[in-house]
Amino acid sequence: MTLFDLTWRNVKNNFQTYFLYFVSMVFSILVFYLFNSINYNQQVTQAVGNKMNFLLSFGSILTAVFSAIFMGYSHAFFTRRRKREIGLYNLLGLQRSQVAKMLFCENLVMGTIALASGIFLGVLFSKLFTMLLLNLMGHYVQINLFISPRAVFNTVGVFLLVFLIISWHAHRIIYRFQLVELFRAEQRGESQPHGSVRLALLSILLIAGGYLVALNPQLVFLFPVYAVLVLGLVISGTFALFKSFSVFALQLARRNKQHYYWGMNLISNSNLLYRIKSNAAMLATIAVLSAITLTAVGMSYSLYFGAGEEMQKYFPFSYVYLEGNLNEDRQVDAVIAAYPQHGVRADVKIPYLELEGKIFGITGFHRTAQIISESSYLDLIRARGVNPDIKLKNPGEAILFAQGNPSNLQGETFIIKNEHPVTQEFQITEAKPYLLMNTMFFTLVVSDGDFAQMTKVQAPAVVRGILVDRQAKSAELSQELNQKFNLLSSFFDQYRWNLEQSGMTMFVGAFLGLVFLLATGSVIYFRQLNEAGKDHLNYIILRKIGVGRREIRRSISRQVMVIFLFPLLVGTVHAVMALSVLGNLLYKNLTIPIAITVVAYTLIYLFYYLLTVDSYDRLVNAPGQ
């Protein structure tokens, strides 16, 4: 038997253990290839240009880095688990270098198989996924089956490098083992961890502090400080939480003897307590990763599905341009008339003034405001078939229409700079979170009298807004108008841009989320199975003294549930927090995207949970043992 035979045999026999690891490896490779192949796809470039290159490159770099970390971690773990086997080879007279060579080959064989499968599946599915992406971005293009040599080259190159580094690392571990150490049984009965109440409290305080900072909108303006503070507090708090609070909680559960001395609780609790020390870092990492994934996916999801409705609020008209002369108006009308499917629903011209100012209450809050008269406001509203719902009572008052959430400016005073001679101040009596006209991001509606006074000093500009039917499908019309005239804003361009950006983000976000999810799920899986292997004897003892298989299975289900649920719960809370803060910043209600993302994530996790319970149970509880 040659070394290669031995290698091949090992790979085959360990396949069961490696299966999930292998799956997530293949998936990472698939995603990496997919991102690359889309990047190099000519048809995609024709359809949407190079806009996506950055995001896709970023996504594939993230995939590669994450996979490298995940594979490195898994490999170190597997190698350590096989200590005894390695020792046996040594004892049987295989030289260390030979064993090392064997392990190196094993990794390489596995890596090659994974690489081949990943690329094969990538090629197979790239057409489907590329079309899915373009669909999300609002382009309906038939994509040909396409093998991108450059993408294959990149994938093979990057992942071979990763495998080489990992294999080299695994191979170094062997030289560090001592032969005696290899045969020493896994250290049993390591001392019971002590939960420090102080550290447990501190972990809660750290996380709460992070949340408080996050919720404090004033600090957003110092973004780097804000981000570092929030992330630092929450992440360190999470690690402390898993390290100490978990021990503390388990020990607290022990105090209640009635509960602790009840059926298998004794066993589940102490199994968890003993392993929490070695599991804490992993679980905390998984919680943080879950939070990031949930936030990213939830965010991109809401961007995507918010894209349509948000647009209406900020882009009430299909086309907007600054009024030049009547001749131009007639040309525009002629162009639109050539597209009968896009009938004109509203057509409005209003005068406005653009002035610099500052808001009194908030120090240094400078804004450029667009000022229009109350009758222009009525024109705009009525043209779109909406009933006006606000009224100015006195001169010197103004109603604000702005992006986002301007309600906190209600009651403030807007002071026009440059010592404007007529009316210098307007009190904002009401603030509305939408715009009256595209590109008028901070509109003040003032009384006709005030407006007339102001126009005596400065002549107003006139803007024309046109609303057409089926504006979301007006690609050709928009293109023609854009070419011929100098438009200030076009609904369709903005709409398409939004759709492209958010569709892309969602696509990349969802795939990255899946890569994270599969990897973290499989890490929990093989760690749990490793523990099952160690606990095997304990379960035999329990069965001998009269614990039924069903009861053992129930206890395993509960024990593994804690391991899966704890990081998921913490991750979800973090993500909900992050998304609600982001929701406030972006003036969106993210409840539904959060709910959908969390449910989807939980379902995939549930699958891993059931798989783990089943394998665990089969390992310690199979009939015939």
Partner 1 sequence: MNIVLEARNLKKVYGSRGNAYPALDGIDLQIKEGEFVGIMGPSGAGKTTLLNLIASIDNPTGGTIIIDGDYLVTMNEDQLADFRRQKLGFLFQDFNLLDTLTVKENVVLPLALARVPAAEIEARVSRMAVLLGLQEILSKYPYEISGGQKQRTAAARAIIHHPRLVLADEPTGALDSRSSTELLQCLADLNQKNATTIMMVTHDAFAASYCRRILFIKDGILFSELVRGGTRKDFFHKILDVLAVLGGDNRDFI
SS3 readout for 520-545:
HHHHHHHHHHHHHHHHHHHHHHHHHC
Question: H-helix or E-strand containing 313?
Answer: helix 265-314
Of 168 and 262, nearer to partner 1 (C-beta) is 262
Can you read off the two tokens belonging to residue 287? 């919680």
- In the complex, the smallest distance separating the C-beta of residue 548 from partner 1, rounded to whole angstroms, is 4
Q: Amino acid identity of 418?
A: N
Of 399 and 542, nearer to partner 1 (C-beta) is 542
3-state secondary structure of 468: strand
Residues present in the chain in total: 625
Half-sphere exposure of 18 (CA within 13 A, CB side): 22
- Nearest CA to 510 out of 438, 443, 385, 604 is that of 604
- In the complex, the smallest distance separating the C-beta of residue 80 from partner 1, rounded to whole angstroms, is 20
Of 153 and 261, nearer to partner 1 (C-beta) is 261
- In the complex, the smallest distance separating the C-beta of residue 276 from partner 1, rounded to whole angstroms, is 12
Of 55 and 266, nearer to partner 1 (C-beta) is 266
- In the complex, the smallest distance separating the C-beta of residue 538 from partner 1, rounded to whole angstroms, is 5
Can you read off the two tokens belonging to residue 449? 């009298």
Residues that bind partner 1 (CB under 8 A): 188-189, 192, 257-258, 260-267, 270-271, 273-274, 538, 541-551
Class of residue 224 by CB neighbours under 10 A (exposed 0-12, middle 13-18, buried 19+): exposed
SS3 readout for 253-273:
HHHCHHHHCCCCHHHHHHHHH
Of 340 and 624, nearer to partner 1 (C-beta) is 624
Beta bridge partners of 399: 430, 445
Which residues in 510-521 are b (16+ Cβ under 10 Å) and which e?
bbbbbbbbbbbb
Of 313 and 618, nearer to partner 1 (C-beta) is 618
Of 385 and 623, nearer to partner 1 (C-beta) is 623
Of 265 and 413, nearer to partner 1 (C-beta) is 265
Of 191 and 483, nearer to partner 1 (C-beta) is 191
- In the complex, the smallest distance separating the C-beta of residue 185 from partner 1, rounded to whole angstroms, is 11
Give 9-34 as a DSSP string. Answer: HHHHHTHHHHHHHHHHHHHHHHHHHH
* Those residues with Cβ within 8 angstroms of residue 134's Cβ, 6 or more apart along the chain or in another chain: 44, 47, 48, 140, 141, 143
The sign one gets for the Cα dihedral 621, 622, 623, 625 is negative
- In the complex, the smallest distance separating the C-beta of residue 54 from partner 1, rounded to whole angstroms, is 51
- In the complex, the smallest distance separating the C-beta of residue 528 from partner 1, rounded to whole angstroms, is 16
- In the complex, the smallest distance separating the C-beta of residue 532 from partner 1, rounded to whole angstroms, is 14
- In the complex, the smallest distance separating the C-beta of residue 562 from partner 1, rounded to whole angstroms, is 15
Within 10 Å of residue 541's Cβ, how many Cβ atoms?
Answer: 9
